[in-house]
Amino acid sequence: MHWNPEQWMEIPNELQNIPHWMVCGVDKAPFSVNGTTLPGGHTNPDNWSSFGKAHFYASQYPGRVWPGFCLSSSDPYAIIDVDNKQGLPLHAERIQAAQEMDTYIEVSVSGQGIHVVLLGDIGGGCRHENIEVYSQDRFILMTGDTLKKLPIGHDDHNLQYLVQWCGGVHHDLPDEPDGPSVDDMWLYEQLCNSKYHDKFLKLISSEWVYEWGDDPSVADFAFACMLAEFTTSNQQIWNIFSKLPLGQRLKDGKPRHPNSANFMANACRKARALANKQIGERAVSSEALQTMLNNTFNNVQHSNGNVVYPQQFQRQFPRQLPALNPFVNTFFGIDELLSRPPVKWVIKDMLQQGKTAILYGWSGVGKTFLVLDMMEAIATGRKWLNLRTTPMPVRYFSLEGVQGLQQRVLAWERQNARQYPRDNRVEISEQGVDLVKDWKLIADALKDLNGVIIIDTLAQAMGGRSETKSEDMQPITDAAKYLSIATNSAVIVVHHSTKPDAKTGETTGYPRGWGGLYANFDADIEIRETDDEMGRELFAEKVKDGVSKWSRQFTLNAHIVGMDEYNEPISSLAVAFESGLESAVDATEDAKPWEHSQEAPRRGRTKKSNPRTHKDDAPMNGAKSERAFRTSENEVKLADAWKGLKAQHGEWVPMWALEKWATEYFAGTRDNNKVASLGRVLEKWDSLKRIEVKPDGNGSQLYRLK
């Protein structure tokens, strides 16, 4: 059976937007994703859910669970189901009539039939052989495997043509008093002497599974049609039916409901309306019939009140996924686990394709400036934070306005001395977003993206919901997950961090609002201030399947990007990472974030003015903890530069070469004592036995990095 969650997004939006969705297993018996399936099954609206929930649930069970639409009188749609069932004529003329309709058509899950979806209300349903037509009270497993990708349209002429060919709509007939019963043996004799002889013998034995095992409801109705021609007692028909293997089978994975007799009474009323009382010529003696019936009942074994078929028939009618327990047969082995594709990184050890991330920081910390720099790196495939990136298209929802973006992009170009991508690798939208309501529309617009989607900010995409209530925030995080799955893209949500305490200036270092935000995203990235006025730090608190608790420091540099109407300068900021963080690592090696990051503090209460200072953390080097953090930042740069110095001067690098590098490196920083800063790094490395020192014979030293 065909299973493809990406194709499910091809199901028309008209159906996706109606919350009439359930899921089913390989037996096509629908069950609810909301928990216990309530009585009424697919006809009970309390069992329905949104398309997003059904899609997300089914996508967790590869090849085992599919989404399906519940047709009802409250929607305007009808579906024609054409299947190429073995042993039935194809009726090419009728199938052609269905295929020629100008509307959405998809291939069925078996690959042998089609579903035609169109506007129309026939007031019920009808079927004949391999063609079924329904507009209500029917569950249809949908695949999205499009044969015709058109909007759902009208075609009343062909719709009514197929309905009439199927014998018209089967309406429930009014209740009628139960008629008198006849002698059971006389009834059996009449049926065995009728044109129904062969089918009747199969229906009253366990052999019914060979012909109707894929659709036992057809067998039920066929049995009712046969008996209703010869008796007016619906209760008598039910009594006989309930003693047969056909009537004692499990239905939808459970014993039949006691009210199933009402179903049989309704089936009998329908059958009488279609009755054709022609008696065949074949005869079977009463003695032979009684012997056959006795053998049939002897083959039915009872266990705890349920019927157990003989072993050869059990193999003919497997139930791989009981309708009320989606966890049966959902486990898989290590071989299947290892055969699945590996994680695909957008930014190595930070952001995965098809996953979600939350990037947050206090207002004004520079989140959007960092996002702009990250977007360019992803679009062009350049290293970012010394981490590899996979070139992908980026779509950015600027929900706080695009006016300021223009000057920010210009500042970025001045900072980096190159042009920001002008093609469709990076595209921006200022369309308002309610993530819960609009994720399906976004997914449809970006279904072929396979890239990165950024929502900036969460507060503008909440549709007026509360940030602190789980019942409001859980659907938002779910919508982000659905969007990432549907578009096979990384979804980054930009948000604010907790507000600093008015008295102490301390903050908890968590995303603002509901505590579940941290747990519900695959990556948790915080942007915070350092002790420098324009210094900032990116801190990867959590990266699922990657490396957590590492950091990178950067600054926000000011640039004049133009003049306003008063002939005064227009300025903006751009992210500037320390030299080497974009490209210093050899291209043949993967950057390891933990090898180049400063010691990451525990998450806890931090001061907004200096989030890296923690009351509970011991200082790194006694009273020099603040300087130690800055020194370690310089260590990263010197380690990256050492390869080039080694290539120029050999194994032992002279002090004058190191001083020259330090002068060039610190030229764009606020550190005026350049050589002193270099000296602190060398002094620390010497104490840690990371370098060797020897005199150069000219009153200076040579250094070798171990």
45 φ/ψ angles, rounded to the nearest 5 degrees:
-60, -25
pLDDT digits (tens, 9 = 90+) for 248-269: 775 544 555 544 556 666 667 6
Same domain? 102 vs 220: no
Domain membership of residue 368 (yes or no) is yes
CATH number of the structural domain spanning residue 697: 1.10.10.10
Nearest to 596 by CA among 386, 388, 389: 386
Task: For residue 596, give its domain range.
Answer: 345-614
Same domain? 194 vs 157: no
216 φ/ψ angles, rounded to the nearest 5 degrees:
-65, -20
Q: Is the pLDDT of residue 296 over 50?
A: no
Q: Which of 238-247, 255-264, 521-530, 559-568 has the highest mean pLDDT?
A: 521-530
pLDDT digits (tens, 9 = 90+) for 444-469: 899 889 999 999 999 999 999 999 99
Same domain? 662 vs 599: no
Contact 123, 136 (CB under 8 A): yes
Overall number of domains in the chain: 4
Domain membership of residue 470 (yes or no) is yes
Same domain? 161 vs 196: no
The residue ranking higher by pLDDT, 595 or 69, is 69
Contact 702, 694 (CB under 8 A): yes
Give the 3-state secondary structure of residue 535.
strand
CATH number of the structural domain spanning residue 553: 3.40.50.300
pLDDT classification of 48: cutoffs 50, 70, 90: very high
**Residue in this structure with the two tokens 């994703």, named with its chain if needed:** 33
Q: Check residue 667 and give its pLDDT.
A: 55
Q: Check residue 611 and give its pLDDT.
A: 39
Same domain? 287 vs 385: no
Same domain? 609 vs 642: no
> Across 129-178, where does the E strand assignment appear?
131-134, 138-141, 146-148, 153-154
Residues in the chain: 706
Amino acid at 320: Q
Domain membership of residue 433 (yes or no) is yes
Mean confidence (pLDDT) of the chain: 75
The residue ranking higher by pLDDT, 654 or 524, is 524
Q: Check residue 524 and give its pLDDT.
A: 94
Domain membership of residue 506 (yes or no) is yes
Amino acid at 4: N
Instruction: List CB contacts of 447: < 8 A, sequence separation 6 or more.
Output: 6, 9, 10, 486, 487
Amino acid at 564: D
Q: Which of 46-50, 97-101, 216-220, 254-258 has the highest mean pLDDT?
A: 46-50
CA dihedral 478, 481, 487, 491 (to 10 degrees): 120
Same domain? 279 vs 235: yes
pLDDT classification of 294: cutoffs 50, 70, 90: very low
Q: Which of 233-247, 423-437, 526-540 has the highest mean pLDDT?
A: 423-437
Whole-number Å distance between alpha carbons of 350 and 490: 11
Picking from 568, 595, 614, the residue at the C-terminal end of a domain is 614
> Which of 159-173, 192-206, 233-247, 367-381 is predicted least confidently?
159-173
The runs of H, that is alpha helices, within 174-285 are 184-192, 197-203, 208-212, 216-228, 234-241, 245-248, 260-273
Q: Check residue 142 and give its pLDDT.
A: 94
Q: Which of 299-308, 547-556, 577-586 has the highest mean pLDDT?
A: 547-556
Q: Check residue 26 and give its pLDDT.
A: 79
Task: Please state, for a pLDDT cut of 70, what percent of the chain lies above it.
Answer: 69
Query: Which pair of tokens denotes residue 554?
Result: 């950067």
Whole-number Å distance between alpha carbons of 577 and 580: 8
Query: Which pair of tokens denotes residue 222?
Result: 């066929």
> Which of 147-151, 262-266, 411-415 is predicted least confidently?
262-266
Contact 105, 114 (CB under 8 A): yes
Domain membership of residue 52 (yes or no) is yes
HSE, CB side, 13 Å, CA atoms: give it for residue 580: 22
Give the mean pLDDT of 368-389.
Answer: 94
Same domain? 511 vs 592: yes
Domain membership of residue 142 (yes or no) is yes
Q: Is the pLDDT of residue 314 over 50?
A: no
Adjacency order of strands within the sheet including 691-695: 653-654, 701-705, 691-695
Contact 702, 649 (CB under 8 A): no
Domain membership of residue 330 (yes or no) is no
Instruction: List CB contacts of 385: < 8 A, sequence separation 6 or more.
Output: 347, 350, 538, 552, 577, 581, 591, 593
Same domain? 141 vs 14: yes
Q: Check residue 587 and give its pLDDT.
A: 33
Picking from 598, 614, 630, the residue at the C-terminal end of a domain is 614
Q: Check residue 97 and give its pLDDT.
A: 63
Same domain? 215 vs 100: no
Q: Check residue 569 and give its pLDDT.
A: 82
Q: Is the pLDDT of residue 616 over 60?
A: no
Give the mean pLDDT of 207-232.
Answer: 72
Q: Is the pLDDT of residue 643 over 80?
A: no
Q: Check residue 683 and give its pLDDT.
A: 65
Adjacency order of strands within the sheet including 138-141: 30-31, 21-24, 66-71, 138-141
Same domain? 454 vs 520: yes
Task: Please state, for a pLDDT cut of 90, what percent of the chain lies above it.
Answer: 26
Give the mean pLDDT of 93-97.
Answer: 59
The residue ranking higher by pLDDT, 100 or 43, is 43
Picking from 614, 641, 660, the residue at the C-terminal end of a domain is 614
Same domain? 360 vs 219: no
Q: At what angle do helices 184-192 and 286-298 cross, to 10 degrees?
A: 100
> Which of 4-8, 55-59, 222-226 is predicted least confidently?
222-226
Q: How many CB atoms lie under 10 A from the CB of residue 227?
A: 26
Q: Is the pLDDT of residue 664 over 70?
A: no
> Which of 19-28, 295-304, 484-493 is predicted least confidently?
295-304
- Per DSSP, the residues of 281-310 read S----HHHHHHHHHHHHHT-EEETTEEE--
Domain membership of residue 334 (yes or no) is no
Nearest to 461 by CA among 446, 448, 479, 447: 479
Contact 82, 116 (CB under 8 A): yes
pTM: 0.46
